[in-house]
A = this chain, B = another copy of it.
Amino acid sequence: MDSHTIAVVGGTGPQGKGLALHFARAGHKVVIGSRSAGRAEEAAAEIRARVGSAVDVLGLDNKGAVEAADAVLIVVPWDGHEELVAALAPVLAGKLVISCVNPLGFDKRGAYGLDVEDGSAAEQTQRLVPDAVVVGAFHHLSAVSLWEAEGPLGHEDVLVVGDDRDAKEKVAALAATITGRPGIDGGVLRLARQLEPLTAVLININRRYKTRSGVSVSGIPA
């Protein structure tokens, strides 16, 4: 991906902040979005403190962040997702929207994927914002690993799904700023319903092995 302005809606949460850190370090202009512009600016300040003030990171409310950007990551909890995306739909229209949302449930037997009427969070976003180009990606990276890493997460892959080949290529290139290699095209957008709940398996693995697991795909030509 050439240098872009990337909004991270939900960028005050650990996953969003970790992604924002890597994008900023790679030279992208990053706008953290939150319901509260103040909390967004706090997260931006944390990233600047971490990476150095030369990086271009600021915080705005979600609407302002989306308006400022040409690519928008949605990194919010599933609870409240539909309302949030619906409210932002007018400003999301026409943009590249990258859904990183994992609709998961938790009970005493562990994490599991929730039934989603649209199939997946990414497909829900596409339904709510038909004029956006929606891509699903960045579902499986550990928030803690993202925040702690001084360089690429070289043992992990980003799987990218979407109906627009150009948009997937942009996101695959953006993924390389995090893993050191391009994201992998996993198929059309409906496959997001496979990627999102796979995170439940990783969470179960993390608990079972007391680790931070990640996914990689073997057999991809360099």
Within 8 A of B (CB), among A185-221: 185-188, 190-191, 193-195, 197-198, 200-202, 204-206, 208-209, 211-221
Which residues of B lie under 8 Å from residue A113 when comparing CB positions? 193-194
Q: Given known contacts A156-B218, A187-B110, A219-B212, is B205 in contact with A201 (CB within 8 Å)?
A: no
Is the beta-carbon distance between B218 and A205 smaller than 8 angstroms? no
Main secondary structure of the interface of A (DSSP, over half): mixed
Q: Given known contacts A215-B215, A219-B212, A221-B209, is B159 in contact with A190 (CB within 8 Å)?
A: no
Is the beta-carbon distance between A217 and B208 smaller than 8 angstroms? no
**Does A4 make an interface contact (CB < 8 A)?**
no
Among B161, B186, B194, B204, which residue has its beta carbon within 8 angstroms of that of A187?
A: B204
Nearest B residue to A109 via CB reads: B188
Is the beta-carbon distance between B188 and A205 smaller than 8 angstroms? no
Which residues of B lie under 8 Å from residue A216 when comparing CB positions? 215-218
A98-112 toward B: CB 8 Å interface, digit per residue (1/0)?
000000000001111
**A165 nearest CB across to chain B (Å):** 10
Nearest B residue to A186 via CB reads: B201
> How many A residues, CB 8 Å from partner?
41
**Does A184 make an interface contact (CB < 8 A)?**
yes
With the chains together, A201 CA to B110 CA distance in Å?
Answer: 24
Within 8 A of B (CB), among A148-168: 155-156, 159, 161
Which residues of B lie under 8 Å from residue A209 when comparing CB positions? 184-185, 219-221
With the chains together, A119 CA to B79 CA distance in Å?
Answer: 22
Residues of A within 8 A of B (CB): 109-113, 142, 155-156, 159, 161, 184-188, 190-191, 193-195, 197-198, 200-202, 204-206, 208-209, 211-221
Closest 9 CB pairs of A and B: A187-B204, A155-B218, A213-B219, A214-B218, A186-B201, A211-B219, A110-B187, A194-B197, A109-B188
